Amino acid sequence: MNKYLEQLGSKLDEIELKKLSKIQNTKVHQFVLESIELCNPQKVFICSDTPSEVAYIKHMAIASGEESAALSTPGHTFHFDGPRDQGRDREVTKFLVPKGDSLPPALKQIDREEGLKEIISHHKDSMKGKTMIVIFLLLGPADSVFTIPCMECTDSWYVSHSVDLLYRRGYQKFCKISKDTDFLKTLHSAGKLNENMVSVEYDKKRIYIDYTTNTVYSVNTQYAGNSIGFKKQALRLAIRKAHKEGWLAEHFMILGVKGKNGRKTYFAGAFPSASGKTSTAMLPGETILADDLAYVKNIDGECRAVNVECGIFGIIQNVNPGDDPLIYQILTQPGDIIFSNVLIKDEKPWWLGMGCELPKEGINYSGKWWEGKTDENGDNILPSHKNARYTVSLKALPNCDPELENPKGVKLGGIMFGGRDYRGYVPVQQGLDWAHGILAYGAALETETTFATVGQEGKHEINVMSIQDFVSIPLGQYIKNYLEFGKKLNKVPLVFGVNYFLRDLKTGAYLNTRRDKYVWVKWMELRVNNDVKARETPTGLIPLYEDLVPLFKQLLGKDYTKEEHVKQFTIRVPENLLKIERVKEFLKAEVSDAPQELFDVLDEQKGRLVKAKERFGNYISPENFEIV
């Protein structure tokens, strides 16, 4: 028995010690011991993934009051985060940077020694009187070149329940790993709780990432995006690992799109929160493999990808039977689902945009709620938070892709980048080549920020690959990695830019409906398989009107008019030229190591736009461009 297990002998009961002793990796024992000594829990529960233990975690989430089962649908529970804990908190999420090292100035960071001292002070005795739950998990499918083992020590039964729905269980894998195998680890405490079991010390909320030890520290928060260390925090660590090893860790959804003669083509897609990512992944008739995070590797010259997770932590606003029938179906039938920060009334969850009139009173994250209730600043409190969520296992979905656990992943035929771009890009376009698509659509992704990030709603920003907040290496190097990755593939996926939020310049009305994305995705599937031609514009390849007409009719039962097509696919030269300048200004200010190829691609696109303007004017009908 090693020294850490010997010391744990006085801190764990015999059953828990026996479970931990089956793991040979001494760094696991060290992390558990140090977490106990720092946080001072009353008890420690080691989850070895037996059915009874998994059931116990959900039971305790309810018994502790962190979740409530007071809902009429069997298996459903709800959880409330505090009023100031409703989204990812950029301001208090920082990298711990050791002296002599450096990260790009755009990344939130703090000196490692200073940050460790601060986070340790917040964690000190944070679990006093509570139970520390130790959970072992896997990122990516088991027994795969993609697999990354990880573990979390937390005092939140709600977080433990969420983790079990979102990730693959890993205790058995940890029992097999060698003594020196590296893994990711998280220490989380909800901190002091009020009578509603909600974190109350918001001013001491911290999410710190120590990339020198692959450790995430999270304290005084329950919101899953902050407290589950394997969401965006572990993505930051995986990005560094991917950079060293020559693969990509991405903020991707993955869906399988069905085509002719039984074929299926897999697409990955990067979208900022609330920009259509999950609803794209959940298109009816297709299959979902991932909704949020993916690892992408070159396997024998093929671009292959896996879902890092095996569950969904999804935004519930605007999920309704018309726009998102599959998600809505799952959310209204029995099953293990956690609703967070919705309105509860008559033993039912209610949320914004669910397709019916909401109750005028109930309970929500603010406590007892009634129509017209305001917060301390006098602002109206909505019945359900805009960033209210649902947590569910992917395998609960009837459209879960059968390749979810394939250790080799799936071959990507296409990659799409999409944001909330009201002014510039058309609804769907294909890059002229790998570099153009990656740089003009991905690296130049411009969006309006949403309620998913605390204090950021309604601001326009550049969000490189929809991953900018999480990139833990120099941003220019991250972009270079993409370019180099493509060069080593035998066949690169086609790259597409999508924009579901284009508005009419005069009226401000949206030019897409929420359902139109189904048509754009099906057109992309046809392009990947060389079934349709396209028109070449200065910004990319766009669909032919005659190819979209049957798709609208078949998929949506809609007669698609030439007028609609012209409005949607008119190339807006002034807006696109301004977009290029905004991107270049951002790059010069924030990305000191941006590759020259990025500026070259933007300048080439600018040149094509200016040339087209000289021939056709500022606003150019798609019919003016040649078919290729």
pLDDT (tens digit, 9 = 90+) per residue, 216-260?
999 999 999 889 988 888 999 999 999 999 999 999 999 999 999
User: Can 313-396 and 415-624 be said to share one CATH topology?
Assistant: no
Helices 545-556/562-569 angle, 10° precision: 110
Give the pLDDT score at 455.
45
Instruction: Report the percentage of the chain scoring pLDDT > 70.
Output: 98
Per-residue pLDDT tens over the stretch 523-551: 999 999 999 999 999 999 999 999 999 99
Give the pLDDT confidence score for residue 172 in this predicted structure: 97
Output the CA angle 418-321-332, nearest 5 degrees: 110
Using the predicted structure, report yes or no on whether residue 299 has a pLDDT greater than 90.
yes
Would the pLDDT of 62 be above 90? yes
Residue positions annotated with a catalytic role? 275
Q: What is the mean pLDDT of residues 331-357?
A: 97
**Rounded Cα–Cα distance for residues 241 and 425 (Å):** 33
Band of pLDDT at residue 456, cut at 50, 70 and 90: very low
Sorted by where each begins, the domain ranges of the chain are 3-66+90-245, 313-396, 415-624
**pLDDT beyond 60 at 458:** no
Give the separation between CA 277 and CA 292, rounded to whole angstroms.
8
Residues with Cβ within 8 Å of residue 332, at least 6 apart in sequence: 73
Average pLDDT over residues 107-119: 94
Which residue in this structure is represented by tokens 């284009």?
502
Which whole-number Å values give the CA distances from 422 to 380, 425, 435, 442, in the listed order?
27, 8, 24, 17
- Distance (Å, rounded) from C-alpha 128 to C-alpha 134? 16
Does 213 score more than 90 pLDDT? yes
So what's the pLDDT on residue 459? 62
Q: Calculate ∠ Cα 158-162-163, nearest 5°.
A: 115
Using pLDDT thresholds of 50, 70 and 90, give the confidence band for residue 590: confident
339 by DSSP, 3-state: which?
A: strand
Looking at the predicted structure, is the pLDDT value of residue 439 above 60? yes
- CA 6 to chain CA centroid, Å, is 40
Q: What is the mean pLDDT of the chain?
A: 94
Give me the DSSP letters along 167-223: SEE-HHHHTTS-TT---EEEEEE--SB-TTS-B--GGG-EEEEETTTTEEEEES---
pLDDT of amino acid 201: 93
* Identity of the amino acid at 221: T
Closest CA to 523 of 428, 442, 436, 437: 428
User: Can you tell me the distance from the alpha carbon of 318 to that of 297, in angstroms, rounded to the nearest whole number?
Assistant: 34
Q: Which is higher by pLDDT, 565 or 87?
A: 565
107: pLDDT strictly greater than 90 = no
Q: What is the DSSP string of 390-443?
A: EEEEGGGSTTB-TTTT-TT-EEEEEEEEE---SSSS-SEEE-SSHHHHIIIIII
The pLDDT value given to residue 276: 84
What backbone torsions phi and psi does residue 475 show, to the nearest 5 degrees? Answer: -60, -35
CATH class of 3-66+90-245: alpha beta
CATH code assigned to 313-396: 2.170.8.10
* Closest listed residue to residue 604, CA positions, set 423, 439, 418: 439
Question: In this structure, are residues 205 and 221 in contact, taking their beta carbons and an 8 Å threshold?
Answer: yes
Rounded CA separation 314/324 (Å): 12
**306 contacts 168 by C-beta, under 8 angstroms:** no
Report whether pLDDT(452) > 50.
no
Span 382-424, pLDDT tens digits: 999 999 999 999 999 999 999 999 999 999 999 999 998 999 9
Task: Tell the residue number behind the tokens 């008739």, with chain if given.
Answer: 285
CATH of domain 415-624: 3.90.228.20
pLDDT score at 457: 47
pLDDT exceeds cutoff 80 at 273: no
Residue 275: predicted pLDDT: 83
Within 10 angstroms of residue 26's Cβ, the number of other Cβ atoms is: 14
pLDDT at 7: 95
Pairing of strands 410-418, 494-498: parallel
Average pLDDT on 451-462 reads 57
Residue 374 confidence class, pLDDT cut points 50, 70, 90:
very high
Q: What is the pLDDT of residues 193-206, one digit of tens each?
A: 999 999 999 999 99
In DSSP terms, which residues pair with 368 in a beta bridge?
A: 363
Kindly report the pTM of this predicted structure.
0.92
Q: What is the pLDDT of residue 399?
A: 94
Greatest mean pLDDT among 180-184, 449-453, 527-531 lies in: 527-531
The Cα 122–Cα 220 span in angstroms is 8
pLDDT of residue 451: 45
Share above pLDDT 90 across residues of the chain, in percent, rounded to a whole number? 85
